Amino acid sequence: MEFHKDFSPLDRFLCILHLSAHWESCNFIPFVFMGQINVAIIGGGTVGGGVYQALKRNGRLIASRLGIGLSIRNVVVRDLKKKRNVQIARKHLSTEWKPVVDDPKTDLVVELVGGVKIARQIVKRALSQGKPVVTANKALLSEHGEELFSLANQNGTNLYYEASVAGGIPIIKVLREGLIGNQFPYIYGILNGTCNYILTRMKREGCDFQSVLEDAQRLGYAEAEPSLDVDGFDAMHKAGILGSLAHGFWIPPEQIHVEGIRDISQQDIQFADQLGYGIKLLASIKPLAGTKASNAVQISVCPTLVPKGHVLAGVQDVFNAVYIGGDIVGETLYYGRGAGQDATASAVVSDLADAALDLKHQTHNRIPPFSPHAEDGTVSPWEETVSPFYLRLNVVDRPGTMSQIAAILAEAKIGISSIIQPEGHEGNMVPLILMVHDAKVGAMETAVKQIRKLKVVRGQPKVIRVENFEE
Q: In sequence order, what E strands does 22-150 have? A: 36-42, 69-76, 93-94, 108-111, 133-135
Calpha distance 94→80 (Å, rounded): 7
Three-class SS state of 258: strand
Judging by DSSP bridges, how do beta strands 296-307 and 330-337 pair with one another?
unpaired
Q: Which residues pair with 430 in a beta bridge?
A: 395
Residue 424's identity, in one-letter code, is G
Q: In sequence order, what E strands does 77-169 have? A: 93-94, 108-111, 133-135, 159-160
> Taking Cα atoms as reference points, which of 348, 353, 352, 354 lies closest to residue 163?
348
Q: Which residues 6+ apart lie within 8 Å of 388 measured at CB?
A: 417, 435, 436, 437, 438, 439, 465, 466, 468
Calpha distance 379→284 (Å, rounded): 12
Measured in degrees and rounded to the nearest 5, phi and psi for residue 103 equal: -55, 125
Active site residue 81: no
Buried b / exposed e over 276-302, threshold 16 CB at 10 Å, is ebbbbbbbbbbbbeeeeeebbbbbbbb
Q: Judge contact between 356 and 70, C-beta under 8 A.
A: yes
- Exactly one of 138, 238, 286, 462 is catalytic; name it: 238
Q: Judge contact between 419 and 434, C-beta under 8 A.
A: yes
Q: Measured in whole angstroms, how far is the alpha carbon of residue 386 from the centre of its chain? A: 24
Calpha distance 373→43 (Å, rounded): 34
Cβ-based burial of 128 (10 A; exposed 0-12, middle 13-18, buried ≥19): middle
Q: In 10 A of CB 243, how many CB atoms?
A: 26
The DSSP secondary-structure symbol of 31 reads G
> Taking Cα atoms as reference points, which of 74, 149, 59, 69 lies closest to residue 106?
74
The catalytic residues are 238
